[in-house]
Structure 1
């Protein structure tokens, strides 16, 4: 059980927030009057009161809202909770969607202390049900409303990222995985830049903790096709059987093996699979591997509910 110690908002991004004591939370948006509200996964930010107290004991002397956090809560170490944890406070239900964030510009706190705890200790959430939260209210962890495995879909295309070509494979992947019982939580369209691909794969696996990342494109023989290299660079374990199975299936139905260089790996608790760029190849690949991927994810997460306890 946690206790809300501050409810903070600001009318502009990049500003310290002010403790307004009470606020209205809107489903699918965030906090009314707060600049970070919107149709995205970082609608509400949360920070443990104990982490702020520890930081102040080192001489920071900051007040609630100084890190840009919306809710300061005593009793939870948010950093130790997994993405997907669901909180209830009065009628408000929040689902944790991301741990920490990248700090692109050093704030005044960082300049004074040489560090800022929000990028490492703060978490983000979406508003699942709206209502009012005030200082002193109790917050508790409840059972997750949506237990489907989560998926991020990443399309790699220079022309697509520049708006010169329509992405048709990404939407197809989203449709097929949703129909197969997964939940798509993020979709990206990126240029074939290896460093950027690596950064996004790491963010999706480590901060968003998605169960499955499916990429499409960037697996050919062109020098600009760097998706397999980026995928292998972020791996903690290799899982070549998935990519090999896709190639063998292509051989069985087309009479030739695909020449794509797609890779398949594991990063911590996330499976990453490179798919080809064409709609036809994407459809064929997913029709074959989707029925089998869930079992692999279950084993990876230690979920034996559908595995006969083994």
Structure 2
């Protein structure tokens, strides 16, 4: 168990980072607003307090953030942790991806002292689950077999539901079924059939690292049915087998299932699935897909092997 001594960010690469009291980590990105955040394997950098203090004993007074580190923690020697190690601070989860790095040519500390500890002692990682972290929070190493939280969110797309003109029975049914199947439903929201609002909410939930984002409504032929378009705008990879399975199995119940335009796909480490807009239909569709869905989420999060038998 370690303790976070500093959280540091910078607006531009090649500059000294500045300590912050609290920061927001975004899944598969890094710290919001930090220059080194991005869709790569070195989203966050870690450095031990002991290593910084050893450097200070050489007679050079360096402040937190001077080496370009995002997180300074006491009680953990990061360099001794193998690649793949997972850490947790509050609701945020990290995975170590690289030990050390080559020091860039314009390193300010190297120019000042002739040495820089980041190439030897620095460790880099990615954000598996986002959230807010404060200076002083505990940082712990996950034990083998520990998993990320199994969270879900439900978005109901309904103009009338968003104004209180219609009771949201389908969203309530989705939340109830997911809870009964082991998901922690962290948010349930009703939004109008507006593509930008729906896409923005999906993006926000994916940045937080919510495992399953289930939408209900807006998948038909009405001019206001744009949930699939919002989903396609957000997803980085599609999972066509999920809506195909729902349509195929629903066709055994009603021939109107062929009119569903539902989509499913992946955004960061979240799975987004469009469900129908009626309580009966969402109950049937979740009954078809929930067991294999959990296996897909485990694979997406690196907690299970591939699907082949």
Q: TM-score range by the shorter chain?
A: 0.5 to 0.7
Q: Which residue of 2 aligns with 1:50?
A: 8
Q: Which residue of 2 aligns with 1:22?
A: none
User: Cα RMSD over matched residues?
Assistant: 3.9
Q: Which residue of 1 aligns with 2:92?
A: 96
Q: Which residue of 1 aligns with 2:51?
A: none
Residue 148 of structure 1 contacts residue 181 of structure 1 at CA under 8 Å; is this kept in 2? no
Residue 155 of structure 2 contacts residue 214 of structure 2 at CA under 8 Å; is this kept in 1? yes
Q: Which entry has the higher C-alpha Rg, 1 or 2?
A: 2
Could you list the per-position Cα deviations for residues 173-220 of structure 1 after superposition, in whole angstroms to 9, with x for gaps in the alignment? 111111112221222211111011111111111x21112111001112
The count of residues paired between Structure 1 and Structure 2 equals: 219
Alignment counterpart, residue 124 of structure 1, candidates 109, 116, 131: 131
Note the C-alpha offset of 1:245.
0.7
Note the C-alpha offset of 1:282.
0.5
**CA, structure 1 residues 155+167, in 2 after alignment: closer, same or farther (shift >3 Å)?**
same
Q: Which residue of 1 aligns with 2:251?
A: 251
Matches within 5 A, 1:218-237: 218-237=218-237
Note the C-alpha offset of 1:138.
7.6
Local SS of the residue matching 1:151: strand
Q: Which residue of 1 aligns with 2:186?
A: 185
Matches within 5 A, 1:1-310: 3=3, 5=5, 48-51=6-9, 65=21, 77=70, 86-87=88-89, 94-96=90-92, 124-125=131-132, 139-143=138-142, 147-205=148-206, 207-304=207-304
**CA, structure 1 residues 140+259, in 2 after alignment: closer, same or farther (shift >3 Å)?**
same
Residue 295 of structure 2 contacts residue 304 of structure 2 at CA under 8 Å; is this kept in 1? no
Q: Quote the Cα distance in structure 1 between the aligned partners of 2:210 and 2:224.
A: 27
Note the C-alpha offset of 1:2.
5.0
Residue 192 of structure 1 contacts residue 225 of structure 1 at CA under 8 Å; is this kept in 2? yes
Note the C-alpha offset of 1:230.
0.8
Note the C-alpha offset of 1:85.
5.7
Long gaps (5+) in structure 1: 6-47, 79-83, 88-93, 98-120, 127-132
Residue 2 of structure 1 contacts residue 74 of structure 1 at CA under 8 Å; is this kept in 2? no
Q: Quote the Cα distance in structure 1 between the aligned partners of 2:270 and 2:214.
A: 11
Residue 4 of structure 2 contacts residue 137 of structure 2 at CA under 8 Å; is this kept in 1? yes
Q: Which residue of 2 aligns with 1:111?
A: none
Note the C-alpha offset of 1:228.
0.4
**CA, structure 1 residues 220+74, in 2 after alignment: closer, same or farther (shift >3 Å)?**
same
Q: Quote the Cα distance in structure 2 between the aligned partners of 1:50 and 1:65.
A: 9
Q: Quote the Cα distance in structure 2 between the aligned partners of 1:279 and 1:146.
A: 31
